[in-house]
Structure formats: C-alpha cells, structure tokens
Structure 1
C-alpha cells in the first residue's frame, strides 16, 4: 500500500487518503497493493514545465497524476532508466530555505524511436502499457508560499481550494476514466516451468498460451534492452520541497529491485522456481496458513537438522514466490527471532565440529541467511519490518549482522574441498544479506536525525568493526571480486553471478566510503591487484549490455577502482 514521503524519522508515514482512494479505484488490485510510495513534487520534463504533481512509485514504473488527481500517466518505466541521481543545485524557481532543502532528482532514461504504426499497435495490445503523455498548459507552476514565505511541504492539504494550482487538462474525468489512459497494468508473464515430458495432444492447446507469452516476453525484453546508443535520451526532473522527503531513496531501491528481478528472469532455472509468482497471488489467508505451519514445525522441539533444512528450503521457495508471505513474516516477528538465534547457535558451535558435521551446520546456516535475505525483498514500506529491526536500539539487527559474518575462526583451514565449497556458499549468502541491510542503511542515513539513529550505513559498519572475522570476511569478498574480473575467459557471467557481483560491489564500496578501517585495509592489501588485474575495457565481456544490471555494476566497479587507486 502506498505511503507518502513525509515522515517522523522512519521511512513510513501518514497516508494521503484522497490520493489512495483515487489509485485504488483506477488501478488493478495487484498493482495498487505493490505501490511503494507517493509524494508531491514539482515535475519538469520535455512536456511538463514546473507542475506540482503527485509522483506515484510502483515496483516497475513511475506514475504522475495531477492535483487533485484526475488521470494517471506513466512517466517512465524502470526498464528504460539509465541513471537516478541527486543534483546539487539551487532551483531558480524557489527562494530562501526552500531552495536549500529542496531535493532535485534527475532520472535519465532512454526513449525508443517509435516503430512503424502497425508494429507499434500490435505491441501495444500485447503489452498494454503505452499511454498518451500528460500535456500541461504552457504556464508554469511553483508551490504556493505560506504566510511565513515557505511553500507547503509534501502534504498537498496546504493548497487552498480557492487558489488551486493549474493542472493539465484531464483526458477524462475520474468518474469516467479513459480506458486507454488507465489500461497500463498488464504485465507479461514469463514462460512457465519446462515440461518434464512431451505434452500430450490434450495439453497442447493449453500450452499455446504460455508459448505465445514466452515469445512476446522475449521480444519485449530485447526491445527494452536495446543498445542505448540507438535510443533517444530524455530526462525527468523531480523537485521534492521537503528535507524529510524519501522519494529518492525509494526510487533507488525500486530501480535496484527491478534490475535484479529482470536480470534473474533471464536465468531459466530462476524463472522456473519463481514461475508461480507471476500467477495471481494466493489469498492472504493461505500465505498466513503456510507461514504459520512452517514456523511451528521449525520451532518444534527435537526437530532434526535434516528436517530443518527441508523446512527452510520450503520457506525460502514460498517467500520467493509470494510477497504477501514476506510481509507477514515481519508482522509476526517470532520466526525472525528464532532464525537469528538459530544462526548464532549454529555458528558458535561449528568451531568444535568435525569436517562432516561442520559442512552440515554450514549448509543449515546458509539456508537461514538466504531465507532472511529473501524476506527483505520488496518489503521496504512494511512498517512492522522497521519496528522489528529498530526495537531495543536495534538489538536484533546487531545480532544478525554479527552472526552473518561468523563461521570458522580466522586461520582455521577448511578440512577438505567440500567444506570449502560450503563456506564459500555461506559467505556469498552473507554478502547478499549484508547488501539488503546496507539498502536499509542508506535509507535510514538520509532520514531525519540520522547522525544519532541506528540502522544507518555508518552504524552497520561500526557494529561489524569489532567482530574478529570482519577483515577476513571483507578480504574474501574482495578476492572473489578480483577473481571474477581478472578471469581471461571470454564468457559472460550468468544472471545469478551478475546479481551477486553487483551486491558484492555495493558492499565493498560502502566499506571504502564509510569505514576508515576497511578503506585502509582494502587499499593496503588489494591496491596492486585492482591496478593490474582489473581491465575496465573487458568489462563488457563479463557484463554484456543486454543484461539489465550490467550498467550499474560497471559504474560501481569504476567507483571502487577510483577509491582504491587514488593517492
């Protein structure tokens, strides 16, 4: 459910009931429930000149609607976005403190040259997302000043009905929406799981639909991921006139999630595992029943490690497919506490185990970490998540961070190659979990009073800094990054490898930027390796342009090189 961007120190805040009601009437339920945030901003684009509008952010698109809301238009799809950045400037249409506290967000995206009309019409029917653009009047608009000389904050209630802001002329009234304007929510389904045996004649007719959808999806993916040099570039500028605005944070998070999902969907195995996630979501009572059953069985006395592994695999698979289950996970909290405690107990006891038992315990710990990492996805606006993670001065978060880099003592060699494989898998899973925590930390770092609050990036690294395994853990992440980038084989990374590389880069860059200890460690131990082993000119081989997450990963790698090699 959508949340507005003004808040009281958390990422969540009061809702705009009027706008929520409009969105609920004019959006399909599945899309409405996945809206992350909406916030009023001054909008500037090729067709809009300083118009105060609602910016509505979903998992896949940025929508715009007027004040008061009348029509809903797609401003940009994340499949076309090339960069999202904060611009450090003083907008000339604002004055005084409003200039200083304004957040200017620039979204750079590619606009494809329109195809021939016949092909465009066919793809429009298949995709169901092409919309006429908002066409505003020629005059410009800035937020109306209050009696103290300040424009209103992101709450639109401060506008007066007697002097409303000028808005683009609506295509249709809200009570009689234009179906062409609002038919923008049909998402193509990816191909289903492969058949285990050739389909019988009676099943062939039912298989025609998935095959056709697969062909459409492949064509649309190629169309969306065309060489950006062949596209016409465009920019969308959002000006949030509030020091507590979180729209930029949510834009970055939503774009990252979209790039990750789009990349993983290129992997047939991942697409098969998550295929049911593209079907209509299961009823919430079914999600709650499944979560409750797995939680009870996992916490039952005397459950064996083998049974725990099976239950965790089932929970992880269900969480990947069902966002409702992930939200319910944070609302209850009991299972989260149990998993953190199980992770601590398992890694503390691993030191005294023999090789075979050590492998079993590492496997169980890896499944716990992987499951927790999945639970973070697409739950940024879940209030209970922030409440649980920040409770008691973020005690549970601190325990989770310390446990995630646990394992064998520094200097203890793996018993055999099998154990080494399990240890590498655990560290890969820990990297993904720390990436999720850092996403949370970047959001908290920009909130009000972030210098004294917990869960910021700086706080996360300070918690980890006292752990004896931190430096070996970060060294391992740097070594794995160098191993991938220095590989001379002319082969692209698989989609899961590309996503893990992106997460590893975000982790290492955060260490370089926010921790003097880790910055010094990485520069003193890996400077020469980064200088001579990483060839930026060969990155396009490992990270081809058609993979959605390649562009931001290359940007992160260049930032890491700059930070490590600077004098």
Structure 2
C-alpha cells in the first residue's frame, strides 16, 4: 500500500485518502497502489487544481482534495515520455514557485481534443443545456454509485477550509478560491443524471396543454445526438494524438517524479515480458485489473504463513544443493505471482542475507583449479541472482527495503554488488581457447576427447552467459534504487548511483563485466543478426543501455574505459535505424530503449573536452 507524501521519502499514510481508495477500488488494484501525493494538476480538462495523484503499477489516477471521485489520468502503456521541466510556474509565488517540481507526462490518447468540447460549449448560446466535457472521456463513479463527470477546465474546486501540513497555503499557490454556486432544488432545475443514471426533468404545464414535447427533454435529445455524432466521428477517424498532463509538486524533496518513472520502467518491462510465452506461463496470474479471469487472491495472512514456512526450510542447516535449488525455484515463482511476498522479503533480513552469502560462496568460493565454474555453481548462482532481481521489482516504496539496504552504511548492499560481478572476459576467453585447442588436437589425436569434453565447455559458456544476463538485470534494479538517492538531498539516503559504482570500482573484474555488457549491445544491434528481438532480448537491451548510460554519466573511470574500447563500435556499428528495425513497435519497451540509445550515441560522439564537462554536470546521476 502507498506510504508516501510530499516532502518525505516514505511518510505516514493519509488515512482519509487511504480509506477512500480502499472503498472505491477492487482489492487487487488497491493492493498494488505504490504511492500518492498532493500536487497541482493541469491538463486539457483540469486547470491548475490542487488534487491527489494516486500511482499504481499500471495507471495514474486523480482525485480531489479531499477525495470525492476517482478518475484515471492515463495508463503507462500509453506514455511517451516523462520529464522534469526546468521552469518557474507563473501561477505560483514566493518560495513555492522556486521549490516546485514541474512534471510533464506525454501520452497517447484517442479521446477528442479540447476543441471538440469547445464546439459543444459554443452551442450553449442557442439553448443547449450545459454539458460537461467529461461526457467524452471515461466516466468515473462517485461514492453513491452513480456516474459523475471529472472536473472541466472551467471548474475550480474550493480548497478545503482545514488543510494538512502537506497542503500549501492557497494564497501562495495563486489558485482561485471561488464558492460553489448555490444549490438549487431538484424540482425546479433538471439534473443530467438521476441516482439511477437516467435523465430527469420537470415538464412545464404549457407544453402539456399544447401537447408539445418537453423543452428540457428536447434539448437533452439534441445534446445527446450531437455528443453521439462527435464520439462517432472521433471513433471512425481512429486517429491517435498526444496529450499532456502537467503535475506541479510544491516541494523540492518530492518523490513524485521518481515514483512515476520507476512505475513506468516496471510496467514496460513486465508488459513486454508478458508477450513472451514462457514468461507468461510463469506469471499467469496477471496483475492487470482489466483481466476478466484472475486467479483467486491469497490473503496477506496466508502469504505471510507460506513465506515463513519457505524461509525456515531455506535457512535450515545442512541443506543440500539440490534441495536448495528447488526451494529457490519455488520462492522465485511465488515472488513473480505475489507482490505481498516481495514486500515480506524485505521486512526480515535473514533470507536476503542468506541469498547474498549463497551467491558469494557459489560464484567465488568454490571454483575449480582451472578457474572455470562448474555447471552446478553457475545454475545456483543464476537462480539466486534472478530471485534477488524479482524481489526488487515494484518494491521501491517499501521502507523496509531502504532500511535493509542502507543499514550499517550499506554493508549488505556492498556485499551483494561485489558478489554479483565476475570475470566475464577472462572466463569466456578461457573457454574459447579450450574449444579451439580441443578442435585442433581432435584432428591430430583422437584420444583428446577423453580429456576435454567440448560439448561440456560449450554448455558452461552458455550458462555463464545466462548468469551475466541475470547479473545485468539485478544491477539494473539496484541502479534504479540509486537514481532516487541521486536526486535526494537527504544525507540518510546515500545509496546513489555514484555510490553504487564507487563500491564496484575497486572490483578486479568490473571492467571485463562492463565490457561484456557493452559488447552485447553492439552484437545485438549489428547487421546480420535476427530481424526482430524477442521480448526477453528487448528487455535485456533496455537494462544494458541503462547500465551503460549510468557508467558514462556517473563514473569517470568507467566512462573513459568505454570511450577508449567502444567509441568506434558505437559510432559506426550501432545505428538507430537498425535498432528501430529490430525492436518491434508493439513492444512497450521499444520507444524508451531507442531514447536511451540516442543518449548513449550522443555521449560516444562527444569530444573529450565536452565529455569531461558533462561528467562534472552529471556526476550526481541520471
């Protein structure tokens, strides 16, 4: 459940808003709310109104302050870009104007533009009844259960007389405080909707005497016909257009931008992976509230009980490797299905510490004399890393996660990072040398097959590549948690991108690990490869691009290494046109990946003097 507010990383819950959401949302949707925060909202139909922004893992909702109705603002599948705007809003004054964070969300919509609604408004002069523009967007539902329209640009809600500490002074906001029009009797003024949703009117006696249709009914029929014609025209055109939602968070410590970015990243990754048949089978219990068929939800108490049982089995002494592997598979699969289990994972440190220790021992503590990992070591290490990566997914608002990762100056996080990195370049090179040597010796001496099993070496190389893919995904998740700290001025949250890369910098195998990730980007996007990338390959490309961009922007040593060894390859082998051909347009992750590639190519094409200047500007992170 959401636990955030303006000006605090993970502040106390808003009891009134939380109760409202719980009553008006399905349980599955309510439990996946990630955050909410008050801010000023501006869109095509809302003109600078102080509202609550409610953030789930799939959609962003808006509700009044205090809450009365709940309206969907946009779905993450339609988002084109989310950016911070460096400006000073003219409707704010004083310190609020300087501290404001202006967030602009650009998304695709098929709803008619505002000028279509203005066209109906002009018809009011010829006797049409007032009709709100939300007849054309989605109709929401009020607490009473019958439809009510979302606010229009002409409506300004009166701020509540009593405000919480997080609500700014309305005078400093520059928002209008106009009283609501006096309430009129239902018997004298016709209403657009009755409690059952049907129009009601009070027919005049003169019309009955003349046997003429009621004027109010006639006007509503005309308006209904016009609205249907307008909607049909828009539906027939089928043209998509871009719309913008502007959010003004009145606090320089607001986390709203970071929360929306994180939710967008999670959504595009998950929705892209769900296009893969194998992943969809593993995560058959889709979290999309629009699904018509869902598996029955497991109660929080039942989830806690099952997690406790699984944890006790994992932590028992003398557990064998095979039994450990099966239990970890069960934990990873359950975490894919149940976000409540992921939250429980961070509330107790025992399982996380155990996984980090297992990774340290399996990947670095028991290598063979030749320096090559065994098959069991690579399989177990990959499963541990995949399980940790799943636990990071969509748990960024959990206070327990931050507390665990930052405890003792980030000691557990440091262990996780250092255990994650392995010598990818050396081990793949050793395997390649062995394979070539074996091939030459096989042509000369037939008995060499009894000494070296070439197929086994190839299998180990494939398992190593699978581990490196999983390690990139986990490092991507850790870096995402660092992006928030990079923009945070709080000394308590030191887990920034710069700190993460600084912990990794002394690792003897970091450069070979980063080089492998960069080389994979070049190979995937070079000519002669497959025409289309699979969903898994597309997600991995996105994660690798985020990793490379962080290295280029936040660590001078890694940036220099990439510039020296991969500048020419990225300038001449990686083309955006080629990337567009390989990333299917229906993948939700395609457009964000292309945007990341554009940023990376720009940095690789920048001369050294400008590159050093950019490092000074961007050393705090993305």
Q: Same fold (TM over 0.5)?
A: yes
Q: 2 CA distance for matches of 1:421 and 1:434? A: 20
Rounded to whole Å, the distance in 2 between the matches of 1:350 and 1:313 is 22
- Cα 1:41/1:357, change in 2 over 3 Å: closer
In structure 2, which of residues 519, 523, 535 is the aligned counterpart of residue 479 of structure 1? Answer: 519
* 1:156 corresponds to which of 141, 146, 167: 167
- Note the C-alpha offset of 1:178: 8.3
Kindly name which structure, 1 or 2, has the bigger radius of gyration based on alpha carbons: 2
1:263 is matched with: 272
Aligned to 1:402: 418
Residue in structure 2 matched with residue 58 of structure 1 by the alignment: 56
Aligned to 2:498: 458
Q: Deviations over 1:203-251 (max 9, x none)?
A: xxxxxxxxxxxxxxxxxxxxxxxxxx94111100000010110000000
Q: After superposing the two structures, state which structure 1 stretch, 464-473 or 344-353, moved more.
A: 344-353
Residue matched to 1:42: 40
1:41–1:154 contact (8 Å) kept in structure 2: no
Instruction: Give the drift of 1:490.
Output: 5.3
Rounded to whole Å, the distance in 2 between the matches of 1:42 and 1:325 is: 34
Larger RCO of the pair (alpha carbons < 8 Å, separation 6+): 1
Q: Are positions 1:348 and 2:364 aligned together?
A: yes
1:500 is matched with which residue? 540
Q: 2:571, 2:483 → 1: CA distance?
A: 28
The answer to which of 27-36 and 392-401 deviates more is 27-36
Aligned twin of 2:11: 13
Q: 1:525, CA displacement in angstroms? A: 0.2
What are the Cα deviations for residues 461-518 of structure 1, in whole angstroms up to 9, with x where unaligned?
A: 1000010110000000000110100042452111111111111110110000000001
Q: Is the 8 A contact 2:549 2:596 kept in 1?
A: yes
In structure 2, the partner of 1:25 is 23
1:101-121 CA deviation, whole Å, 9 max, x = no partner? 11000000111157xxxxxx9
Q: What is the CA distance between 1:139 and its match in structure 2?
A: 5.5
Between 1:132-141 and 1:436-445, the stretch displaced more is: 132-141
Number of residue pairs aligned between Structure 1 and Structure 2: 494
The answer to whether the 8 A contact 1:350-1:408 is kept is no
Query: Kindly tell me: are residues 418 and 490 of structure 1, through their superposed partners in 2, closer, same or farther at Cα, counting changes over 3 Å?
Result: closer
- The 8 Å contact of residues 135 and 168 in structure 1, kept in 2 or not, is answered as no
TM-score, L = length of structure 2: 0.74
Q: Would the aligned equivalents of 1:350 and 1:407 in 2 still touch at CA under 8 Å?
A: no
Residue of 487, 496, 507 corresponding to 1:446: 487
Matched, 1:317 2:333: yes
**TM-score, normalization: structure 1?**
0.80
- Per the alignment, do residues 565 and 339 of structure 1 end up closer, same or farther by CA in structure 2, a change over 3 Å counting? same
C-alpha distance in structure 2 between counterparts of 1:177 and 1:22, whole Å:
23
Question: Unmatched 5+ residue regions in structure 2?
Answer: 113-134, 140-146, 182-192, 198-237, 287-293, 435-456, 608-622
Change (3 A) 1:385 1:44: same
Match of 1:392 in 2: 408
SS of match in other structure, 2:47: coil
Match of 1:89 among 87, 90, 97: 87
CA spacing shift, 1:513–1:409, aligned 2, 3 Å: closer
Instruction: State how 1:40-439 maps to structure 2 within 5 Å.
Output: 40-112=38-110, 132-138=149-155, 155-156=166-167, 230-277=239-286, 278-352=294-368, 358-406=374-422, 410=426, 413-414=430-431, 416-439=457-480
Aligned to 2:216: none
Is the deviation greater in 541-550 or in 18-27?
18-27
> Structure 1 residues 245, 79: CA separation in 2 closer, same or farther (over 3 Å shift)?
same
Cα separation, 2, equivalents of 1:434 and 1:502: 13
1:3 corresponds to: 3
My pick for the range that moved more, 398-407 or 434-443, is 398-407
The SS at the match of 2:254 is: coil
Take 2:296 and 2:527, find their aligned partners in 1: how far apart are those partners? 42
The Cα offsets for residues 18-65 of structure 1, whole Å up to 9 and x where unpaired, read as 211211221122211211111111111111111111111111111111
Gaps of 5+ in 1: 115-120, 147-151, 170-175, 181-228
Aligned to 1:541: 581
CA contact (8 A) 2:4 2:397 kept: no
Q: Distance in 2 between matches of 1:73 and 1:167?
A: 23
Q: Report deviation, 1:564.
A: 1.3
Residue in structure 1 matched with residue 219 of structure 2 by the alignment: none
More moved, 333-342 vs 350-359? 350-359
1:561 maps to 2:601: yes
Q: 1:350 to 1:166 in 2, by over 3 A?
A: farther
- Structure 2 CA distance for partners of 1:153 and 1:459, relative to 1, 3 Å: farther
